[in-house]
Amino acid sequence: MAEQKKSATLTIGDKSYDLPVYSPTAGPDVIDIRKLYSDAGVFTYDPGYTSTASCDSTITFIDGGKGELLHRGYPIDQLAAKSHYLEVCYLLLYGNLPTAVELEEFETTITHHTMIHEQMHNFFRGFRRDAHPMATMVGVVGAMSAFYHDSTDINNPREREIASHRLIAKMPTIAAMAYKYSIGQPFVYPRNDLDYAANFLHMCFAVPAEEYVVDPILARAMDRIFTLHADHEQNASTSTVRLASSSGANPFACIAAGIACLWGPAHGGANQACLEMLKEIGSPNRIPEFLERAKDKNDPFRLMGFGHRVYKNFDPRATVMKQSADEVLDLLGIENNPILAVAKELEQAALADPYFAEKKLFPNVDFYSGVILEAMGFPTSMFTPIFAVSRTVGWISQWKEMIGDPQNKISRPRQLYLGNTQRDYVDIENR
């Protein structure tokens, strides 16, 4: 727990209350209101928890004003440029970058956990073929608790670690199987000779009838997508995982809850919304029209993939993602893809427009990741499942931190009740 160095005074009527103030290692001070209700008989009101710290954490820090994202103190741009996803997974899970021996052992463990129980294949066949892959993932991940009984005891540190490894390893397999099932193709088993990102692409795009070789540029781009989405502090899905885990639920149920929350278009569906906007624009010659609409406050059209709720300057992940987008487009070309042509022109037009520069509406990570995934051949329905694969390690790291916190208690938000006060029951014949 942070050390109290000062206090704040809250005055309600003729009474004053001293509240502890804690200073973090980075970010704004935090006023401790845990005893406010017992002492003063009042709640605080903060819809969306935009000004409330629900926990203390050592995992990820974001400074939206500076455009800063740190994992265990390491800037995301350095990790994305010099590291790779499984090394970042180790960092998030254990707090430090691994040695060469530790990384090799961790990679071996994850690689040998990628297969799922054969009987779980039956779960996929219980869904309709046109089911959204996220619906399938919510069901299958939740069902893992019925197959892996030896890693559901949250009070056992070893079982927590096994569950963590299994979820990181099996999530790409489950996402790829959900995709294959949706397009009517046979499942492709994971391969131990491929790295994490290449293995995922192979499971998504290989078929039994012919050999499929993963291009290293595409594998690197996918690895960066995983890395740049690994964790993002106390966002909606992470808070959902923490909320679910506060009741003592098993880890698979908690991660399934996170996947369900991520499914929302305001959260994990942002890059899908960006691609749908590009399809709406349709042609590069219509870009000026849509830029003018974006400037019109009375027009409901919004420029998706530009700006960010958290980052008030620029998204630090976008620079690295843009590099990957350029590499992928150079490799695959955009001549025969009008959506990618619109994306390229829109990026240049918006960056050159003073209005968007003044408003600091720069392309964000969702804009570039959507472009990359579209170029790779993924349908928009797979964008959010890929996000779920990326974010799994963040959810698990936050889950482990919460379970190990001695201050952990079941979450119980309060409310500002505006309904009817007590009423007497009226018999139906008298209503």
The HSE-up count of residue 113 (CA atoms within 13 Å, CB side) is 18
Q: Quickly tell me which residue has 């006060």 as its tokens.
A: 421
- The residues, ordered by sequence, that sit 6+ positions from 118 with a Cβ below 8 Å of its Cβ are none
Q: What is the DSSP letter of 11?
A: E
Query: Annotated catalytic, 231?
Result: no
Residue 87, number of CB atoms within 10 A of its CB: 18
DSSP assignments along 168-202, one per residue: HHHHHHHHHHHHHHHTTPPP----TTS-HHHHHHH
Query: Annotated catalytic, 308?
Result: yes
Q: Are strands 30-31 and 74-75 parallel, antiparallel or unpaired?
A: unpaired
Closest CA to 189 of 120, 136, 87, 109: 120
Helix (H, G, I), strand (E, B) or coil at 363: strand
Helix (H, G, I), strand (E, B) or coil at 378: coil
Question: Cα dist. 340→197, 346, 377 in Å?
Answer: 23, 10, 12
Q: Are strands 30-31 and 60-63 parallel, antiparallel or unpaired?
A: unpaired
Sheet holding 4-12, edge to edge: 4-12, 15-22, 30-31
Q: What is the DSSP letter of 283?
A: S
CA pair distance 239, 59, nearest whole angstrom: 14
Helices (H), ranges, 194-269: 196-205, 216-228, 236-245, 251-262
Which of 223, 232, 308, 315 is labelled catalytic? 308
Q: Are strands 60-63 and 68-71 parallel, antiparallel or unpaired?
A: antiparallel
Which of 366, 405, 424, 427 is labelled catalytic? 366
Closest CA to 169 of 92, 106, 261, 121: 106
Phi/psi of residue 34, each to 5°? -65, -30
Q: What is the DSSP letter of 127?
A: S
Angle, CA of 366, 368 and 371, to the nearest 5°: 105
| Contacts of the segment 292-298: beta carbons below 8 A, 24+ positions apart | 295/355
Here the tokens at position 363 are 């392309």
List residues with catalytic annotation.
308, 366
